[in-house]
Amino acid sequence: MVKVKDFEFSLREFAGALGDFGPLNPFVVAYITVLGLNPVGILLAMGFINVVLGFVYKVPLPVEPQKAVGAIALDQRWNSSMVYGTGVGMGLVWLFLAFSGAIKKIAKFVPACVIVGVQLGLALTLLRESLELMSINVALAIAGILLVILFIRNKYLPAGLMIFALGLAVALVANPIDLKLGLYLPEISIPDVRDVSAGMLTVGIAQIALTLSNAVFATSLAVNQRFPRSKVNAEGLAKSTGLMNAVLPLIGGVPMCHGAGGFASQYFFGARTGGAMLMEGIVEVILALFLADSVASIFSSFPSAIIGVMLLFASLELGKFVLEVKRRLEATIALIVGALSFFTNLGMGFFVGLLIFYLIKRMRTSFA
């Protein structure tokens, strides 16, 4: 273990990074294997932003593909220019919201109980996804759960490292890979204005609502609940979301944002400092520059059941936050928002939750 001021480089930190290892995200795999996007740009972009965020914030702060954009892109089989153009459009929107001061104004009107409700909705969504993935191979999923329980307190063989090693071993046995070392460079891509506008019109509003509720407000609350002295706030996350999306698609990065679920997973499996971010980022850069030809095959073979186990413990970690809401009314609102977020989507739960909160507040004022 090595400690350098606000950074720790240890097996536990590395295991935490693997708890939400970006390349294993289903959307990353699908972008590469289904849409045929170049893995070099995707991994290099994720690695670069992870290193930068690690130095800036010095706490775990995951980066992951935007879900709404990814779902529509895969469903409609977008070409690469459409994906990159939508990323640039998202980036410009978030830069405007951050530097115009709009995010600060919005944050003042968003109560914590609504954000916690969004976290609960995300936790339930992750739980559902985890059960679906684990059902693909129940025996392997049970073995993975037992492995996590067995090693969760082990400082020398962290649970996150063990579960990842199990998944990687199963992947390599099922599909042996001939690793090919080389030097791979990203392709520069300048999106067409028509692709930017088409992507934003297709999925822009839905993704902005999801990013606002989960990637900005829910993530900032989740991080500050675990790291009260952190520099993470809604305005900063809006700026980083804007910058990463406005710039990184130019080298092949896909639309990205932060995520409360990813943070919960990293925290559960041991990440406590910016060291986890630096290690993950460095691994992603190495994969991009030297092993790009092998990446898609390895990660597309990674067992879904093991990813399901990771999501299971992430959902439990994230769901715990609702237990910290003490007032009955706020707890009720959080539960309503969580249910709405789960059965509809995070953006719907967020906005309906705000409406309920302020209607109750107005009624209380009227009858006072």
Q: What is the pLDDT of residue 18?
A: 86
Mean pLDDT of 149-166: 88
Residue 368: inside a domain, yes or no? Answer: no
pLDDT tens digits for range 237-252:
999 999 999 999 999 9
Residue 307: inside a domain, yes or no? Answer: yes
367, pLDDT greater than 80: no
Under the banding of pLDDT at 50, 70 and 90, the label for residue 52 is very high
Q: What is the DSSP letter of 255?
A: P
Report residue 329 CA to chain centroid gap. Answer: 30
Report residue 360 CA to chain centroid gap. Answer: 32
Do the beta carbons of residue 123 and residue 339 sit within 8 Å?
Answer: no
Residue 265: inside a domain, yes or no? Answer: yes
Q: What is the pLDDT of residue 286?
A: 94
Residue 212: inside a domain, yes or no? Answer: yes
Residue 214: inside a domain, yes or no? Answer: yes
pLDDT tens digits for range 218-229:
999 999 999 998
Residue 81: inside a domain, yes or no? Answer: yes
Question: How far from 303 is each of 95, 164, 225, CA to CA, in Å?
Answer: 37, 10, 32
Mean pLDDT of 316-342: 88
Residue 119: inside a domain, yes or no? Answer: yes
Residue 68: inside a domain, yes or no? Answer: yes
Domain range for 17 is 2-363
Q: Which residues lie below 8 Å from residue 295, measured CB to CB, with a gap of 6+?
A: 23, 32, 39, 43, 287, 288
Q: What is the pLDDT of residue 23?
A: 66
How many independent structural domains does the chain possess? 1
